[in-house]
Structure 1
Amino acid sequence: MKDVLIITSYFPPEIGAASNRIFHLAEGLEKRNFNVQVITPLPNYPTGKIFENYKGEFRHSSTENNIQIHRLWLYATVSKNKFLRLIAMLSYSFSLIWFFTFNKIPKTVIVQSPPLLVAFTSMFFLRSKKRKLILNVSDLWPIAGLELGALKKNFSYKMLENIERFNYKSADIILGQSEEILTHIRTLSPEKKSLLYRNYPDFIAPKIVERSPNETKIKLVYAGLLGIAQGIHKLCTELKYNHIELHIYGSGAEQNLIEDFIKKHPKLPIYFHGSVSRSSLHKALLQYDIAIIPLLNRIYGSVPSKIFEYAKLGLPILYFGGGEGENIVNENKLGWVAEAGNYQDLNKLIARINTSELTLEYKQKIKEKAINVFNLEKQLEEVSRLI
């Protein structure tokens, strides 16, 4: 049995695409006869506070589903203050160095990036000719930070670019969540062995529910992080509600803004349902007609994992984020695409959607496409062969 260590900043019981992705990777490798360990911070995302069951601990180790999990201390925050966010990343990096110093590290290590600094700490301190380092890149930093407006091209940005290049150079194998990510990495490290590893979901999809013919309005739903990048508050303000209603699930930095907007506009058909468990969410989503996936700005390399999750549920997708995600939705006929950032185009597109299109047969085709094309098991087989 081969030992594998996964280093990540997100892991269950935290919610979200990042924690789900790493959990499925760890679980998939364990089922393929790997002895899997995971290093992750004490759970704190997305609230920025250490979860109640882990408060007051410096380290918490447990075995869950035959996976050994080491949860390390960090300074938890969701502050927009760049200094505090840096302190948070540095605190976890210091905890990692402490762990590396006093524990035996397997010869195969998978490192999640971003955060860039945490990945750098792992790549720098674990470099060895006897060790295989696999870098799992889910977003391109610092490019994504620049496109989101969180970073500016200055001395600090140049340092982050150097860290990014070091991480690629130090890796033996690179896993990329999108073709754009792999294309970018190949321009910097063309000699590196790489593999496309998308964030495909792993769940048994519930039976699709047929739409009631008595419903005249299209029930649009968003489920996920209510962060700056998603721009759900702006979406609420820009949508035309002539023949739609908007339902929102999730939590994040914009939650208070969204709730305040709903209170100030009680006549608008916007409904906030809060955060629910993943299994409960899957059942709830079946009652809606279309799932919207927005990004406030097009982010190079980013492919929202919601595309694959909604498709497996048989839920038609309205994609509003640009980039590679557009191609996936169009090529696989998963729904509709509006021009990124163009709310006028979005509203015109919604106005053209007829409820007669939202048939049970159409939803079933989407679900079958997802099962056949977005196959996590095939991906895991490829990764296990590389390891």
Structure 2
Amino acid sequence: MKDVLIITNYFPPETGAASNRIFHLAEGLQRHSFKVSVLTPLPNYPKGKVFEGYRGRFKHTSKENNIITHRLWIYASNSKNKFLRLFAMLSYSFSLIWFFAWNKIPKTVIIQSPPLLVAFTSVFFLRSKKRKLILNVSDLWPLAALELGALKKNFSYRMLEKIERFNYKHADLILGQSEEILSHVKSMFSKKETLLYRNYPDFKAPIPKHAINTSEKLKIVYAGLLGIAQGIFKLCEQLDYSNIQFHIYGAGPEQNTIENLIKNKPELDIVYHGEVSREELHHVLIKYDITIIPLINRIYGSVPSKIFEYARLGIPMLYFGGGEGEHLIEKYELGWIAESSNYADLNFKISKIEPSKLQSENRVKIQNSSNKFFNFNTQLQQLTKHI
């Protein structure tokens, strides 16, 4: 049985795409007879506070489904202050260095990136001719931060670019969740071994059963992080509510702003449901007519994992984010595309949605496409050949 260590910034009981992605990877490798251990901070995302039951600890080790999970100390923060966020990342990096010094590290290590500094710490201290380092790149940093307006092209940005190159250079295999990520890596290191490894879900989905009542408003749902990149607050302001009702699930920086908007403008047909577990969310989402996947800006290399999650559930999607995600929605006939950042086009596309495209027959078609083209086990088997 081959030992594999996964180093990640996110892991259950934390919620979100990053946590789900690594959890499925760990479970999948364990089912394929790998001995898996996970190195992660004490759970704190997205609230920026260490969860109850883990506070006051420097390290917490548990074994769940035969996966050994080491949770290390972190200065938890979701502050908008750049220095506090940097200190939070550095604190976990210091914990990793401590762990590397006092523990035997397996010969195969999978490292999640971003965060860039955490990946750099792992690559810098673990690189060895006797060890295989696999870098799992889900977003292109610092490029994504530049496109989001979080960074400017200055000395700090150039330093992060050097760190990015260092990570790619010393990784033995790079997994990218999009074709754009792999192209970016190849533009730097043309001979680097890469593998497309998307965030496909791994759960049993019910057979879609849905009938839309054409006399009622179209029920659109968003579920996920209420962050700056998603732009849900602006979406709430810009939607035309003549024939739609907008439902929101999730938490994040924009939560209070959205709740205040609903309170101050009751004429907007918005319903905020708060945060629910992923399992509960799956049962809830299939009741809605369509789901929306927005991004405030098109981010090169980013493909929202919601595409694969919702396809597995058979839910028609309205994609509003640009980039490679548009190609997937169009190629596999998963729903509709509105021009990124064009709210007039978004409202127009919503007004033209045909009820026949929302019924069970079309949902089964979407789910069948997911089973064929977004199959987690098929993808995992391909990965195990490289480990």
Per the normalisation by structure 1, the TM-score is 0.99
Contact 2:7/2:112 (CA < 8 Å) preserved in 1?
yes
- Residue 246 of structure 1 aligns with which residue? 246
Report SS of the residue matched to 1:35: strand
Deviations 1:47-80 (A, max 9, x none): 0000001010000001111001000000000001
Q: What is the alpha-carbon root mean square deviation over aligned residues?
A: 0.8
2: CA distance, partners of 1:21 / 1:212: 32
Q: Which amino acid aligns with 1:236?
A: C
> Does residue 1:220 correspond to 2:220, yes or no?
yes
- Residue 64 of structure 1 aligns with which residue? 64
- State the shift of 1:355 in Å: 2.2
Contact 1:37/1:69 (CA < 8 Å) preserved in 2?
yes
Deviations 1:67-111 (A, max 9, x none): 010000000000011000000000000000000000000010000
Report SS of the residue matched to 1:53: coil
Q: Which amino acid aligns with 2:362?
A: Y
Report SS of the residue matched to 1:167: helix
Report SS of the residue matched to 2:385: helix
1:118-133 equivalence runs, <5 A: 118-133=118-133
- Residue 256 of structure 1 aligns with which residue? 256
Which consecutive segments of 4 or more residues in structure 1 shift more than 6 A? none
Shift of the 212–290 alpha-carbon distance from structure 1 to 2, 3 Å rule, reads: closer
- Residue 163 of structure 2 aligns with which residue? 163
1: CA distance, partners of 2:376 / 2:357: 29
1: CA distance, partners of 2:214 / 2:346: 25
1:300-311 equivalence runs, <5 A: 300-311=300-311
Report SS of the residue matched to 1:162: helix
Contact 2:59/2:73 (CA < 8 Å) preserved in 1?
yes
1:205-354 equivalence runs, <5 A: 205-213=205-213, 215-354=215-354
Q: Which amino acid aligns with 1:356?
A: S
Q: Which amino acid aligns with 2:125?
A: F
- Residue 149 of structure 1 aligns with which residue? 149
- State the shift of 1:207 in Å: 3.0
- Residue 380 of structure 2 aligns with which residue? 380
1: CA distance, partners of 2:53 / 2:269: 38
1: CA distance, partners of 2:384 / 2:179: 20
Per the normalisation by structure 2, the TM-score is 0.99
Q: Which amino acid aligns with 1:56?
A: G
Contact 1:216/1:355 (CA < 8 Å) preserved in 2?
no
Deviations 1:136-192 (A, max 9, x none): 000000000000000000000000000000000000000000000000000011111
- Residue 189 of structure 2 aligns with which residue? 189
2: CA distance, partners of 1:97 / 1:185: 26
Report SS of the residue matched to 1:52: coil
> Does residue 1:21 correspond to 2:21, yes or no?
yes
Contact 2:214/2:355 (CA < 8 Å) preserved in 1?
no
Deviations 1:101-129 (A, max 9, x none): 00000010000000000000000000111
Q: Which amino acid aligns with 2:160?
A: L
- Residue 80 of structure 1 aligns with which residue? 80
Report SS of the residue matched to 2:246: strand
Contact 2:200/2:309 (CA < 8 Å) preserved in 1?
yes
- State the shift of 1:212 in Å: 4.1
Report SS of the residue matched to 1:386: coil
Contact 2:217/2:243 (CA < 8 Å) preserved in 1?
yes
Q: Which amino acid aligns with 1:244?
A: I
Once the two structures are aligned, what percentage of the paired residues are identical?
67
2: CA distance, partners of 1:91 / 1:304: 28
Contact 1:220/1:290 (CA < 8 Å) preserved in 2?
yes
Shift of the 310–163 alpha-carbon distance from structure 1 to 2, 3 Å rule, reads: same
- State the shift of 1:286 in Å: 1.2
- Residue 370 of structure 1 aligns with which residue? 370
5+ residue gaps, structure 1? none
1:35-54 equivalence runs, <5 A: 35-54=35-54
Contact 2:15/2:45 (CA < 8 Å) preserved in 1?
yes
